[in-house]
């Protein structure tokens, strides 16, 4: 069987479905779209959180909100109120359901599940061709959101540090009251794992129910098996002797680095250069914020802009480049973290204790002002940052324990 459309979206996860939903809003101007997704059905496989209060319509998916958060180190615990920019949660189960409903209501978008792309993707006479075991698909435009297909490019390893954020989470129900349902426990540095930064992240849903997650920033991605022991030990510590029942679990690996997003596909065979009709998008193609790995909001924002371009006859758009100041701050922060893991608890405590939560939220949501950036820099201890800047400038000021690849 062969199918032709205006646009093929490869991968129907967060980015593919976000684009599908935003395209469906354009009615008869929606380009005829086929989404090819490998999964046969969707499961509740992830929990997305982000700082809200910025008027994004993605907040319609929110199922939980917290108006305060805490950071805990061996020395102190800081709790901050963040009513203005609450911490919001989207359950992937609800997101996938809503996306499938909205997409099925559009006569111009077809979500084809169970369609694993295995064959070569090539362009002939202005049309891209994609083959799956269920058929041959062609279109003049492609948006490729398959995480494995993205060309992660480091323009210069020395100036583009890279950490991996790996996490394993589990929903638990405790036998007695333990959590404050109004306060998300953003970082609890009560454990350690050699050569990495380890903390517990807790999303409390009630006094007895929470998602507890062992999170590691490190030089390489960690499997669920490798994270099982840290999760067990951090959870045991947090339970303070209470018993708990385990439920659903989730595992994730996010890139933290200032990778350059090439966005467009290079086609050496036909010497097309960067072909604007084939765009990479999603987590591994510029969707993740370098310093945090957060991607949900950035992907949603990109999908709105990309849908608008496509619905007005323009080629698909890749993720935009980050502002140079944001990029420089993210790069410096990651270099300091890479070289000084032992400082991480104090750095985060200082940042969240001294800077107004709304400033941090704006910065994390790519909306930081110059004064937000200045407040963030002023909150951090200057020595490691100056040493890192000096090292980057080639001044030999002491030995670094760098994990920069
Ligand atoms: C457990 C977890 C928790 C996360 N939590 C947060 C969070 O709290 N906040 C935040 O901002 N970000 C979070 N993220 C990061 C990010 O938001 C998600 O990874 C997001 O799903 C990325 O979207 P994506 O479309 O790029 O990738 P995915 O959602 O993974 O979608 C890719 C899709 O491509 C499909 N696919 C792959 N290969 C093929 C193929 N060959 N043929 C057909 N289909 C294919 C996959 O089946 C999948 O559906 C989390 C990630 C994970 C894994």
The residue out of 221, 242, 257 marking a domain boundary is 257
Q: Are residues 149 and 275 in the same domain?
A: yes
pLDDT tens digit string along 107-117?
999 999 999 99
> Does an H or E element contain 392, and which?
helix 382-392
For residue 305, pLDDT beyond 50: yes
C-alpha 46/C-alpha 211 separation (Å) is 11
For residue 370, pLDDT beyond 60: yes
Model pLDDT, residue 269: 37
Q: Are residues 24 and 133 in the same domain?
A: yes
Q: Does residue 17 form part of some domain?
A: yes
Model pLDDT, residue 156: 42
Q: Are residues 58 and 129 in the same domain?
A: yes
For a mutational test of ligand 1's pocket, the pick from 38, 120, 212, i.e. the residue with the most ligand atoms closer than 8 A to its C-beta, is: 38
Q: Does residue 287 form part of some domain?
A: yes
Q: Does residue 203 form part of some domain?
A: yes
ipTM: 0.99
Q: Are residues 34 and 139 in the same domain?
A: yes
Across the chain, what does the average pLDDT equal?
Answer: 89
Q: Are residues 215 and 306 in the same domain?
A: no
For a mutational test of ligand 1's pocket, the pick from 296, 301, 319, i.e. the residue with the most ligand atoms closer than 8 A to its C-beta, is: 296
Q: Does residue 404 form part of some domain?
A: no
Distance 14 CA to ligand 1 centre (A): 6
For residue 214, pLDDT beyond 90: yes
Which of left, alpha, beta for 27 (phi over 0: left; psi -120 to 50: alpha)? left
Model pLDDT, residue 403: 42
Structural domain harbouring 302: 2-62+90-153+259-311
Q: Yes or no: say if 165 and 290 are a contact pair by the CB < 8 Å rule.
A: no
Q: Are residues 211 and 271 in the same domain?
A: no
Across 215-234, average pLDDT: 96
Across 104-127, average pLDDT: 94
Band (pLDDT 50/70/90 cuts) for residue 268 is: very low
Q: How many domains does the chain have?
A: 3
Model pLDDT, residue 84: 96
Model pLDDT, residue 272: 40
Q: Are residues 208 and 355 in the same domain?
A: no
∠ at Cα 205 (200, 207), nearest 5°?
A: 90
Distance 167 CA to ligand 1 centre (A): 14
For residue 159, pLDDT beyond 50: no
Q: Are residues 56 and 139 in the same domain?
A: yes
The residue out of 214, 229, 257 marking a domain boundary is 257
Comparing CA positions, the residue from 121, 91, 98, 153 lying closest to residue 9 is 121
Q: Are residues 251 and 263 in the same domain?
A: no
Model pLDDT, residue 332: 86
pLDDT tens digit string along 322-340?
888 888 888 888 888 888 8
Q: Are residues 361 and 249 in the same domain?
A: no
Q: Are residues 36 and 119 in the same domain?
A: yes
**All residues at 6 or more sequence positions from 74 whose CB lies less than 8 Å from its CB, including other chains:** 189, 190, 345
Q: Are residues 50 and 139 in the same domain?
A: yes
Q: Does residue 229 form part of some domain?
A: yes
Which residue's alpha carbon is at the smallest distance from atom 23 of ligand 1?
A: 14
| CATH number of residue 58's parent domain | 3.50.50.60
Question: What values do phi and psi take at 115, rounded to 5?
Answer: -115, 80
pLDDT tens digit string along 133-150?
888 999 999 999 998 776
């Amino acid at each position: 069987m062969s199918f032709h459309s205006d646009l093929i979206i490869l991968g129907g996860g967060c980015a593919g479905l976000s684009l599908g939903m935003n395209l469906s809003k354009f009615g008869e101007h929606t380009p005829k779209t086929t989404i090819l997704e490998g999964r046969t059905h969707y499961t509740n496989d992830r929990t997305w959180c982000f700082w809200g209060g910025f008027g994004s319509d993605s907040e319609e998916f929110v199922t939980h909100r917290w108006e305060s958060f805490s950071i805990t180190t061996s020395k102190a615990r800081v709790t901050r109120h963040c009513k203005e920019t609450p911490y919001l949660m989207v359950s992937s189960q609800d997101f996938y359901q809503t996306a499938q409903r909205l997409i099925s209501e559009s006569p111009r978008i077809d979500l084809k599940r169970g369609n694993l792309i295995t064959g070569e993707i090539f362009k002939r006479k202005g049309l891209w061709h994609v083959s799956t075991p269920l058929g041959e698909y062609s279109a003049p435009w492609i948006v490729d959101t398959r995480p494995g297909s993205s060309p992660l490019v480091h323009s210069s390893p020395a100036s583009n540090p890279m950490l991996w954020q790996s996490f394993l989470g589990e929903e638990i129900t405790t036998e007695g009251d333990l959590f404050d349902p109004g306060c998300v426990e953003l970082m609890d540095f009560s454990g350690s794992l050699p050569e990495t930064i380890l903390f517990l992240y807790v999303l409390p849903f009630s006094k007895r129910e929470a998602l507890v997650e062992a999170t590691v920033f490190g030089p390489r991605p960690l499997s669920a098996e490798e994270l099982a022991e840290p999760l067990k030990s951090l959870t045991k510590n947090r339970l303070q002797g209470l018993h708990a029942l385990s439920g659903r679990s989730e595992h994730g690996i996010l890139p933290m680095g200032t990778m350059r997003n090439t966005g467009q596909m290079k086609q050496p065979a036909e010497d097309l250069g960067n072909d604007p009709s084939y765009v990479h998008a999603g987590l591994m193609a510029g969707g993740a914020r370098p310093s945090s790995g957060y991607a949900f909001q950035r992907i949603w924002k990109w999908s709105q802009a990309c849908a608008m371009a496509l619905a007005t006859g323009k080629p698909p758009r890749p993720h935009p480049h980050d502002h140079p100041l944001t990029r420089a701050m993210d790069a410096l922060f990651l270099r300091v973290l890479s070289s000084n893991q032992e400082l991480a608890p104090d750095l985060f405590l200082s940042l969240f204790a001294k800077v107004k939560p709304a400033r941090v939220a704006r910065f994390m949501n790519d909306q930081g002002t110059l004064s937000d950036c200045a407040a963030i820099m002023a909150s951090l201890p200057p020595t490691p940052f100056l040493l890192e800047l000096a090292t980057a400038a080639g001044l030999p000021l002491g030995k670094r324990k760098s994990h920069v690849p």
